Amino acid sequence: MKRSKLRRSVVTGLTAVTLTTALMGDVKVHAENQDAAPHPAPEWFDEQWRNAVYVSFEDLQVSLTAPPRLVGGVMMVQARALLEGLGYSLTWDANKRSIAASHEKRAFLTFQVDSLQSPLGAQISDKLPEAPFIEDGTMWIPLRAAAEAAGLSVQWDERGRLALVSDPNAIPKFKVMTQVTMPEFETPSVLLKHMEEQLESNVEISWIPPDYYREKTMVMIAAGDMADLTLFNDPYMLNDEIMESVVMDLSGYLSDYPSLQTLASSHTGTRVIDGHIYAIPRLSDAHNAAFPSIRKDWLDRLGLIVPQTMDELYEVMKIFAKNDPDGDGKTNTWGLVGGGNRSLSWVEHAFTGSPERFSIRDGKITDHAVSPQETESLQWLARAYKDGLIDPDFAVMSSDQAMQKLEDGKAGLAALTLEEAAGLTKDKSIWLPLPVLKANASSAPIAPWASKGAGAYAISSMTKDDPAVILNWLEYGMKMTKEDKWSETDGWSPADQAAVHSLFGQPDMLKNNEQLDKLPTPVKEQYVSAVEQWRSVSYEDQLLPEANVVWSSGKYAEMNQQLEQKKYEFIMGQLTLEQWNSFIQDMAKSQAYKEMMKELEALLADRT
């Protein structure tokens, strides 16, 4: 069922003729003169502007060279600008003072000066509401009568004094916003053409880099200008009340889209509120997340084996920082670099056994931040910082800055995705994802884990398009991706495949991975082996990604920001072990902490 909403358009100047696309109620084009202003108008505000009206052409190449005007309550526009903009060829008959308009696909139209005859011919009983006239050598005709005779529809916004002209038979057009997987991006021409031909839809896609995707999403929501289909890179970034107000409840539609319904039935990434589905996950590989990768060429040069425990890793970092692994004769490398998205949280993961702060143990929420294992992880980092093994700027370093140091060969260890590690592997540098990492020899191995999936798609509650059209487009893309059929498309290119990953996800990070396929065969085999070992580890149903809904309220922001600050202080030696333990104990006793844990327990209860 098509949803129709009225969206106001803003006129930035009195000379504006066309406006941005808007959707209005189905009311005939007719405007009454407004009453006089309650206060005397300035001299420049004459009758022309007091009765100004506006027109917007939705996805139609019409550009009026003069504003529309009201004549007898009927909106009149320039005939030539309107008809030629619609693709008509015009013939002027000077004797009859008439215009004949012909079009390959639209009805033949005629307009005669001072005549109320229908533009569709004398045999049509309907008359024009106002006769065409000529002024300054230009014929003016009634907008609604002309547009509807050409097969178009016209809607009128009384409050905005705006007419919207659209083509009901036009190919559906809607906007999609998604996050690109890599900063460099090429236009996927084959993919877009294929989707348009198969689904008879015209889609405008905004490709947003990852570093400021969340910020862009929030700005669009605040401005009331969300794309019709928007990817939330964190499905839980908005609280329930806001989520329900800005996106549609999709529950009533999904039975017609089996691929989307299957995705929505999986827990990771689906946004469910009171049993209703508001966002559908993008396809993902659960292990496609950042994880420690190491300079394998440095290990080989220094005669070291790939470390498997945190103690072994520490010793390797020490050698990387002190023993000139790049062979330039200088002590100018770090054992470890982290910053921004390339954080050091994997160290906490190694000791706590959880990729997230909160996990589910024995049916209850466990906060690893207050556990002895968390303290052990911070002690490991504090020792590495004191020994000069970690870049000292880690606390203020951005993700881009960290990556630049890796590209410059200044560090031998960092948290990277599989594609990032493969992309850093060049002739003189070989990066290898650690296949096994444990806190100690007797600990269970950990593995990368995308706790929130790869984001989830939601349809804006302000969309003017039929949700069924949008969901059909998404269903087709998801199905093709899951069944790995895109490569069968003629002219398929790496740029198209990268776009598929951005739009519909990557269900298996070992397949259709351009960066991985570029690696020398022996190196690629080590990557594949690492992924296969990761897949023996699962955190399914052990995590609570919905916890971000609690953070979105901002109620516990100060407490949790203080927690992160204390972590940094402890790592950099500004906080003693006793002070850290005292802080943790006090936080756990606070009323705010107890309320937070109560809310998290309620989220867990709602899930079951």
pLDDT per residue as tens digits for the range 280-321? 999 999 999 999 999 999 999 999 999 999 999 999 999 999
H or E stretch covering 154: strand 153-157
What percent of the chain is modeled with pLDDT above 70?
90
pLDDT per residue as tens digits for the range 340-377? 666 899 999 999 999 999 999 999 999 999 999 999 99
Q: Which one-letter DSSP state was computed for residue 32?
A: P
**Three-class DSSP category at 1:** coil
Q: Which one-letter DSSP state was computed for residue 487?
A: G
Which of the four pLDDT bands, split at 50, 70 and 90, describes residue 511?
A: very high
Tokens standing for 413? 């260890």
Does the pLDDT at position 476 exceed 90?
yes
Q: Provide the whole-model pTM.
A: 0.75
Separation between Cα atoms, residue 235 and residue 281, nearest integer Å: 8
pLDDT per residue as tens digits for the range 76-105? 999 999 999 999 999 999 999 999 999 998
Contact 495, 188 (CB under 8 A): yes
Q: How many CB atoms lie within 10 A of CB 494?
A: 14
Q: What does pLDDT average to over the chain?
A: 88
Which of the four pLDDT bands, split at 50, 70 and 90, describes residue 552?
A: confident
Point out the least confidently predicted range of 60-64, 245-249, 472-476, 480-484.
60-64
Averaged pLDDT for residues 187-214: 90
Averaged pLDDT for residues 146-172: 89
Gyration radius of the chain over CA positions:
31
**Residue 466, C-beta contacts closer than 8 angstroms, at least 6 positions apart:** 1, 2, 3, 172
**Three-class DSSP category at 486:** helix
**Residue 395, C-beta contacts closer than 8 angstroms, at least 6 positions apart:** 339, 568, 572
Does the pLDDT at position 4 exceed 50?
no
Averaged pLDDT for residues 47-64: 79
Q: Determine the pLDDT at residue 411.
A: 96
Point out the least confidently predicted range of 118-127, 219-228, 242-251, 425-434.
118-127
Q: How many CA atoms lie within 13 A of 356 on its CB side?
A: 20
Contact 556, 369 (CB under 8 A): no
Averaged pLDDT for residues 521-532: 97
